[in-house]
Structure 1
Amino acid sequence: MMLQNNLQHADRMRLPVNGPAQPAQADGGGITDVINFGIGLLRRQYLVILVTAVLATAASLLYLRLASPTYTAQVQILLANPRPQFVQQQSLLAEPAFDLSQIETQLQLLRSKANAVAVIDKLKLAEDPDFIASGLSLQALSQRIWSWVSTGSKKDVPLETNGEPSDTLVDAFLSRLSAKRVGYSHVIEISFNSSNAARAAEIVNAVASTYVADQLNAKFDANRKATSWLQERLRDLGDQALAAQRAVDVYKAQNNIVSLDGKPIDEQQITEINNRLAAARTQTSEATAKLSRYEALLAVDPKKPSSMDNLDAIGADALNSQIITGLRQQYLELTRREAELAARVGRDHLAVVNVRNRAREFRVSIFDEVRRLAEVSRSEFELAKQRQEEIEKQLSKAVSQSRSVNSAELTIKDLESRAKGLRSLYETFLQRYMGSAQQETFPTSDTRVVFPASPPTSKSKPKTRLILAFGILGGLALGIGLALLRDLMDRVFRTSSQVESVLELPCLSLVPLLPARKSPKPPIRLQKTDDDVQRRIALSPTAIHQTVVGMPLSRYTEAIRSIKLAIDHNPAKISSQVIGITSALPNEGKTTIAASLAQLIGHTGKRAIIVDCDLRNPSLTGIFAPKAACGIIEVANGSRPLADAIWRDPTTNLAFLPAVRRGPLLHTSEILCADSISKLFDRLRAEYDYVIVDLPPLTPLVDVRATSSLIDCYILVVEWGRTKIDVVQHALHTAPNIHESLIGAVLSKTDTKAMARYDGHRSYYYHDSHYIRYGLSGS
């Protein structure tokens, strides 16, 4: 990654490693982020979207090419056809109310099997090739196969049985027929689909005419049956009504029954007495209530001033009495004078006591007048009660006399009611019979065809525009969905923003992916001498590991310089002399970056050494010193001196301390924790300016956690587009001591051409023109 991009993140390096992630933009940048994400999604997944849309469109075109055209003919039928007024008056059958249930019933009749069979027979559709092809459906074939298996015969199942169309043919007919209500009206629209426009119109007209004719025939049959039944019933009712009338007349003559205005005389007397009794009881009830109010008032002690509060409860007699009114006025005047004197001289003054005694006398006088009125009310109550008792005796006498009357009146009422009912029923049936007999000569149907169907001019299915639009838009929608799903499932690191937001670490550099190149011819080796220094010369590394020296003006070298710059300006620790390079998983490029960083530092003239601490898989040793006889383990245990184990690169003056693996190492973490390793690193600190340590990955091994006392700072290498985010997060979570010492992360093997698709709002950072301007190459 170019230097400008690294400087952009220089300030972020000062943030706490475990601190909260800072938002990159304000709230107003949300729309811009959405637009950038959409543009980036299209640039990343345009092939998926395009291929899906093309396939969907091709499928739509193939369907339109293979699907046979279908023509739909339509005809409308009006329900509840209004009849002439005289027909409605004479109609024997009730006019049905075409509500929602009735309309649904008519729709079922239109789609019934009986109506379908009638149309099939009328138009001879069993011989129509279109319907014969429909009859050879999967259902028919399955029925034939089942018949072959059950009967052991290979004869075909006949399409018709007893001259009737087969169920398969009827089902094929009904599958093409549809009927629905038009809005909220009483109009039914019938539709029929066929591959022939003229045939579709002919069939739908036949369905409508068959339905109307069936309705007319059904109504005619119903009227004829009702007329026959009415004729027989009228004959019986006439005989019954005549016999009942004769029985009434004979019974009246035998019992000498006389009535006034259609009612017996005894009934009129009882009714009159009942009315008088109700009035007497009302008068008695009022007198009782009035007397109760007087008694409730007289139960209070008249000497108490509070007794005057209930005086108004006795009603209008007390209010209309002039005596009570006068006494109350004088009483109220004395009460007022008592209150005034009590306010001036006190309640116990002699004048106040005298006025209070006079007020008490007036209260007693008022209650004496009330007692007189109560006696008058008592007399009225007794008089009303006596009158009620006399009327009750008269009623009992009249009822007793009425019960002694002969029960012949009840019998005659029953006979008259029966005779009247039979006469009324006979007249009703006679009117219905006359109307039915007239209506048989003028049959009308409740339904009619509004307008016959004509052959459709265009096909109804398949709809070319709709299918194409659905194919194109559906393909685009499906492509975008698949693209979005692929993008969401792509849980790997692609941009520096992802590293900073997810890991809360600054992204130090984007190291580009170097193409595989042939290694140059090895340089001429020095002749072997007895000098050990000359014999421990590091082998010429591969072309990738020589990039920082062989191509100092490349993007790759510039990205390594960015890592060195971040190490030199690391504010987290005072010293960044010992730098550990690790990763979450193997083969993420940590060894290559460690070697390139060490070569870059050595090429600048600094004293640098690279130490291979990946004891179980010393890949760096296999590159620089595959024939090394001793290494870090031998130096640490004292079997060999440090000078005998160090190899040097003559081009960059880089020192290299290998790790020689002679057998299986079971406790590598204990080796790295030993005091001898700590003393070795203290010596390296004293002799070199930079100590680059190639460490094992975090996830499979725990060795890196044992190096926290040896390493000043760590750099995490993450492979671009391959390492899962969850894996890196879990690796850092399980190694908190390493996480605290991380100065940043490096995205290795970055595809710079693809970065513009994933980092859309900073895509101009990755243009080659910026590098060429400063003499840098794209490699």
Structure 2
Amino acid sequence: MYQPREQFQSGHRFAIEFGGAVLSFERVTDVLRRQWPVIATCVAAALTLVLVYLATAQPMYTANARIMMDTRQTQVLDKDSGTNSALIDTGFVDSQVEVINSDDLILSVVRRLHLTEDPDFNGSNPGALAVVLGKIMSLFESGEPPSQDRIEHAVVEAIQKNLRVERVLQTYVLSLSYKARSPDKAVKIANAIADAYIVGALEAKYQSTKRATEWLQQRSVELSEQATASDQAVQSFKAEHNIVGTSRGLMSEQQLSDLNTQLVQARAGTAEAKARLDRINAISDQDVAQTTVTDALNNPVITRLRAQYLDLQAQYSDWSRRYGATHQATINLANKMEELRKNIADEIHRIADAYRSDYEIAKSREASLDKNVKDLVAQAGHTGQAEVKLRDLESAADTYRNLYNNFLEKLQSATQNQSFPLSEARLISTATKPDRKSSPRTVLALIGGLVGGLCLGFGCAFAREFLSDVLRTPGEVEEELGVKCLGVLPDVRPPSKASALLSKSATGSAPDLSRYVVDHPFSRFAETLRNIKVSIDVARLTREIKVIGIVSSLPKEGKTTVAANFAQLIALTGHPTLLIDGDLHTRSLTRELAPNAKTGLVETLNDPASLGYHVQRSKETGLDFLPSVVASRLVNSADVIGSKAMAELLKSLREHYEYIVIDLAPVMPVADSKAFSPLIDAMVYVIEWGQTTRSALQESISGSEVLQKKLLGAVLNRANPKMLKRIEAYKGKHHNSYYVEHA
């Protein structure tokens, strides 16, 4: 597929890629220059709409009141509140906006102010637009009169439409603004809504506290009954299982502890008595008069007897030595000593009996205590499950009792709050009468209209440029085809039927476009065709160019007019020039220049020697014209125009003419031009300004590689003269001073 030539940009230019097109500063300037009427029209339309709106709009006045969410007021009765409790959740503040906008609150204001009787709300004084809309809506509604609820609901919707409630930045302040036709009414309704919100908040809190108090009272009675029943269940269970409590716990536990203590003491006493008994038994087997026995027993009787025994023993020793052991006195002393020994032994046996008795008593006491402890332990094992159940009952009783106490405290607090209601909201700024209207804002509306019109105009202008698929400038042609644009031909057709009739009446006949260069030799149209000739002459310096084809993508693009005028322009310069009507389908050129011709190109191809007979010459310009005359359309026109006979004819014509201009059939509908392209030296492509699409142009050129190579340049035809002046405004106001468009 044929590709357009690459775009080059100099380093000092700023350009960006936009939607496949290069959007540079120069391109933007060109778009604005070409499309400024569109921009001006959009701006004018926008300003006109704004002026109409300002002239017809009803002035509105806005009153503003401010409400603050302050929890510090509610801390008066809350002794446990800390510093953090004064903070309000932002979601709560935003929720209050919806509360103020709620239907119920607005409805209370409507009823209190009797707004259903106000002409601004009940529709008794409607505007023209409202009357028209009302008539239209009545066609779709029943004929029954509206109910009171429906009227009130309509007024509520009207107030909500003009009411605006918003949070002020990140503060706890709500801004309440109401817009009305009258400043007094705006103030009245704004303050009424603020008061209704404050009163509604107090009433809501009072009702909430009242409902909470009633619920707490009912719940407290239930909890009191449950606590009493739980206590009774504990006492009944204790009585049923013989569980007696003391200050130190259950009595069974206390008894077991005491018996354990006594048992330990009894076991210690038994051990002590056993030790004394064992000691006395050990002493009984020894000499009772020995010092160790006396010291061990530490008995005063034994000590006294032993002292007497020792005195007698000393005396006995003395008498035995003095009188002898057989002396009666010595024997008497021995007898006394034996008696003392017996007495000591008897005392020791008595003490042993006492120790034995104490030991038996201690053993009996220990056995008794041990038995009692075992009995209590056995009893405790039987009452273990009862104590578990008892603890559950006591826990339930404590829970109900604590709940009851808490609910009782909350009930007392709620009762106090009910008699002393406070709200988290307070009015910090009442609405005052506005001294100026809030809408419509004239200056802002005009600025907005101007900016909106400019934006719309720029959007439309660039949309027309970038969304349109047609060509209007030489740069676009060169970008699309990759060949030089040889010029822009203005539209020389009469602009309207009236102008055509005027031209016909002035000249006596309709203007002949096929000889426009003859009638207007100094016009821009003629000068552009001269530029095409100069470009061809420059190309002839490097290669032979005699056969020049004039072609277009589609019919009715003006190629026939261009071919006729171009050929006559060359003939006026004195060069031998032949113009051939190569469009065997429509033969438009023949109808314009030789409508009475009977023979032409087809006959010449059949008999080249008869060329002079078929060619017609213009006496005024010296142009030779070879028409095309056929009885009916040829089905093989492409074969005829690209035949060997045509090649031979052109070879013969090259010897007699310097320029051979051929008006070819359009490229897209038929294949004649593609078949003829190998026979020509150069081709000039005619593009209708603002009509030929890029897609059609690309499809036409890309269909034939030979045609691409033979393409010398393109020309934009039928350009709008007024638009052309805007496009070329950068050339200055004296650019067209050399042109004379009228003879």
Please, what TM-score do these two structures have when normalized by structure 2? 0.69
Q: Does 1:187 align with 2:187?
A: no
Output the CA distance in 2 between the equivalents of 1:439 and 1:628: 116
Map of 2:9 onto structure 1? 25
State which of 487, 492, 505 in structure 1 corresponds to 2:483.
505
Aligned equivalent of 1:48: 38
Classify 1:435/1:56 alpha carbon distance in 2 versus 1 (closer, same or farther; 3 Å).
same
- Which residue in the other structure is 2:278 paired with? none
Number of paired residues? 601
Show the counterpart of 2:373. Answer: none
Hey, what's the Cα distance between the residues in 1 that align with 2:26 and 2:742?
26
Cα deviations by residue, 1:91-112 (Å, 9 ceiling, x for unpaired): 9xxx998424433443343333
8 Å Cα contact 2:164-2:177 kept in structure 1: yes
Where in structure 2 are the equivalents of 1:48-447 lying within 5 Å?
Answer: 48-83=38-73, 87-89=77-79, 98-133=88-123, 148=142, 156-159=145-148, 166-224=152-210, 226-227=212-213, 255=242, 257=244, 403-447=381-425
Q: Distance in 1 between matches of 2:382 and 2:79?
A: 51
The answer (yes or no) to whether the contact 2:71–2:86 under 8 Å persists in 1 is no
Shift of the alpha carbon at 1:503? 0.9
Structure 1 residues 68 and 249, CA gap change in structure 2 (3 angstroms): same
SS of corresponding position for 1:102: helix
| SS at structure 2 position matched to 1:89 | coil
Q: Could you tell me how far apart the structure 1 residues matched to 2:506 and 2:201 are?
A: 101
* Map 1:425-574 → 2, pairs under 5 A: 425-514=403-492, 544-546=513-515, 548=517, 554-570=523-539, 574=543
Q: Which residue of 1 aligns with 2:330?
A: none
**Partner AA of 2:119 in structure 1:** P
Which has the larger displacement, 644-653 or 726-735?
644-653
Aligned partner of 1:347 in structure 2 is: none
Tell which deviates more after alignment, 541-550 or 749-758.
541-550
1:608 matched residue in structure 2: 577
- Alignment partners' CA distance in 2, 1:518 and 1:229: 104
Deviation string 1:406-453 (CA, Å, 9 cap, x unpaired) is 433224424433443444344434434444454454333333222322
Q: Is contact 1:573–1:712 with CA below 8 Å preserved after alignment?
A: no
In 2: Cα distance, 1:108 partner to 1:541 partner: 77
Q: Residue 768 of structure 1 corresponds to which residue in structure 2? A: 736
Q: How far is 1:89 from its partner?
A: 3.4
Please state how far the C-alpha of 1:478 moved relative to its aligned partner.
0.9
Shift of 1:767: 0.2
Amino acid at match of 2:183: A
Native 8 Å contact 1:630 1:640 kept in 2: no
**Greater C-alpha Rg:** 2
Q: Which amino acid aligns with 1:199?
A: K
Listed as ranges, the matches of 1:645-660 within 5 Å are 645-660=614-629
* Distance in 1 between residues matched to 2:532 and 2:42, nearest whole Å: 42
Counterpart in 2 of 1:732? 701
Q: Which residue of 2 aligns with 1:666?
A: 635
* 1:757 alignment partner in structure 2: 726
Whether the 8 Å CA contact 2:490–2:720 is kept in 1: the answer is yes
Deviation string 1:672-717 (CA, Å, 9 cap, x unpaired) is 2333333322222233333332322222222222223432322222
**CA distance in structure 1 between the partners assigned to 2:206 and 2:510 by the alignment:** 109
Q: CA deviation at 1:745?
A: 2.0
SS at match of 2:78: helix
Offset of residue 499 of structure 1: 2.2
SS in structure 2 at match of 1:716 = strand
Q: 1:688 to 1:236 in 2, by over 3 A?
A: closer
Q: Distance in 1 between matches of 2:562 and 2:139?
A: 73
What is the SS of the residue equivalent to 1:29?
coil
2:613 to 628, 644, 666: 644
Equivalent residue runs for 1:613-762 within 5 Å: 613-638=582-607, 641-750=610-719, 754-759=723-728
**Runs of at least 5 residues in structure 1 that lack an aligned partner in the other structure:** 1-16, 270-397, 523-539
Secondary structure of the residue aligned to 1:748 is strand
Q: Which residue of 1 is the match for residue 559 of structure 2?
A: 590
Secondary structure class of the residue paired with 2:539: coil
CA contact (8 A) 1:505 1:745 kept: yes
**Bigger CA drift: 33-42 or 727-736?**
33-42
Aligned residues of 1:715 and 1:746 also touching (Cα < 8 A): yes
1:191-246, Cα deviation, whole Å (9 max, x unpaired): 32322222222222222223322333343444455556656666676676567657
Q: Is the 8 A contact 1:87 1:439 kept in 2?
A: yes
- Report the equivalent of 1:374: none
- Could you say what secondary structure the match of 1:606 adopts? coil
- How large is the RMSD of aligned CA atoms in angstroms? 4.3
SS in 2 for 1:69: coil
Corresponding residue SS for 1:730: helix
Q: Does 1:37 align with 2:27?
A: yes
Paired residue type of 2:242: N
| Preserved contact between residue 64 and residue 190 of structure 2 (Cα < 8 Å) | yes
The answer as to whether partners of 1:90 and 1:432 remain within 8 angstroms in 2 is: no
Which amino acid in structure 2 is aligned with residue 107 of structure 1?
A: V
Question: Does the 8 A contact of 1:36 with 1:760 survive in 2?
Answer: no
CA distance in 2 between counterparts of 1:465 and 1:157 reads 41
Q: Is the 8 A contact 1:609 1:690 kept in 2?
A: yes
Question: Alpha carbons of 1:511 and 1:265: their partners in 2 closer, same or farther (altered >3 Å)?
Answer: same
Cα separation, 2, equivalents of 1:400 and 1:179: 79
- In 1, are the aligned partners of 2:4 and 2:481 still within 8 Å (CA)? no
Percent identical among aligned pairs is 32
Q: Alignment partner of 2:174: what SS?
A: strand
- Distance in 1, Cα, partners of 2:679 & 2:223: 124
Question: Which residue identity lines up with residue 454 of structure 1 in the other structure?
Answer: T
Q: Relative to 1, partners in 2 of residues 1:34 and 1:778: Cα closer, same or farther, differing over 3 Å?
A: farther
| 3-state SS of paired residue (1:456) | coil
Q: Quick check: 2:515–2:564 contact (8 Å CA) kept in 1? A: no
Residue 25 of structure 1: SS of its match in structure 2?
coil
Q: Partners in 2 of 1:675 and 1:462 — Cα distance?
A: 81
In structure 2, relative to structure 1, the CA distance for the partners of 1:497 and 1:260 (3 Å cut) is same
Change (3 A) 1:691 1:249: closer
Change (3 A) 1:584 1:662: same
Counterpart of 1:458, as a letter, is: R
On the 8 A contact 2:13/2:25 being kept in 1, the answer is no
Change (3 A) 1:148 1:244: closer
Query: Deviations along 1:141-170, whole A, 9 cap, x unmatched?
Result: 999878845xxxx5x234369xxx733233
Once the two structures are superposed, residues 97-135 of structure 1 have per-residue CA deviations (whole angstroms, 9 ceiling, x without a partner) of: 842443344334333333233322322222222221289
* Cα distance change, pair 751–447 in 1 and its aligned pair in 2 (3 A): closer
What TM-score, normalized by structure 1, do the two folds share? 0.66
Q: Contact 1:607–1:690 at 8 Å: present in 2 too?
A: yes
Distance change in 2, residues 1:477/1:677 (3 Å): same
Q: What letter is aligned with 2:645?
A: S
> How far did 1:20 drift?
6.2
The alpha-carbon distance between structure 1 residues 143 and 406, as it changes in their structure 2 partners (threshold 3 A), is farther
Name the CA distance, whole Å, in 2 between partners of 1:84 and 1:576: 103
Q: CA deviation at 1:576?
A: 1.5
Output the CA distance in 2 between the equivalents of 1:725 and 1:669. 25
Letter in 2 for 1:767: H
